Amino acid sequence: MITAVGDAPKTALVYGGSRGIGAAIVSRLVEDGYAVAFTFASRADTARDLASALEARGGRATAIQADSADPAAIRTAADAAGERLGSIGLVVVNAGILKLGTVDAVSLDDLNLMIDVNIRGVFLAVQAALPHVSDGGRVVTIGSCSAEWTGFAGSSVYQFTKAAVAAMAKGLARDLAPRKITVNNVQPGPTRTDLSAGFIDTLSERSPLKRIAEPAEIAGLVSYLARAEAGFMTGASLTMDGGLTL
């Protein structure tokens, strides 16, 4: 039986939940007792394996295919999650894309794709989910510490898309405050995912803590933001980067 935390049911929709940080968030929420629907853009086998593993442990997890660059797919996924879960207590928008290139080399296609997924897709994901979100619910976006820090040349587009997400969280928090829905933005630093493979030693050396984050650590912060005791925090961007931006 699904129980409630505060005024919101323990149901969650995670956009971009099949791998890396997203998969860790899905796993943690299931561990916390949530029934979770999560989206994936490709690699249906990976998504099915995650859902099957969680259900084998007694959890409830459903994979839904949706490309976060496609507005129609975003809406369809939100409606499907609403049908399967009923009222949704938590929405996590983790879907994102990184393509590197200095300003003289970024193609129009790459520029548009990062804007479409990292900015437009985040906004539309929240917008599409809202009809299914209960009053008193939670929205968490996954940004990046790059919103505050340019670590290397070639990341300008990614940086400004993540800065836009941080600004967006503030505006959405105002919009949704009358419904007692909080909106917060988590900004991870370098984390052990597919994107960091091959760069772990370099990234670790830059960190004051001399390591990168584990996906489960990011998931733990999302878990906190979903709890009743985080109900007075909204519009915040919480940077979790091991001191990289100090």
| Domain extents in the chain | 4-240
pLDDT score at 1? 37
pLDDT score at 130? 98
Q: How far is residue 198's CA from residue 186's CA, in Å, rounded to a whole number?
A: 24
Q: How far is residue 224's CA from residue 211's CA, in Å, rounded to a whole number?
A: 23
Is the torsion defined by CA of 131, 166, 116, 62 positive or negative? negative
CATH second-level architecture of 4-240? 3-Layer(aba) Sandwich (3.40)
pLDDT in tens, 52-80: 999 999 999 999 999 999 999 999 999 99
Extract the residue ranges of the chain whose pLDDT is less than 50.
1-5
pLDDT score at 141? 98
pLDDT score at 194? 78
pLDDT score at 7? 63
Catalytic residue numbers, as ranges: 158
How crowded is the C-beta side of 194, counted as CA atoms within 13 Å? 8
Tokens in use for 186?
């988590």
Name the residue among 92, 205, 180, 192 with its Cα closest to residue 142. Answer: 92
CB atoms within 10 A of CB 108: 7
Strands 35-40 and 182-188 come out as unpaired
pLDDT score at 43? 85
Which one-letter DSSP state was computed for residue 86?
Answer: S
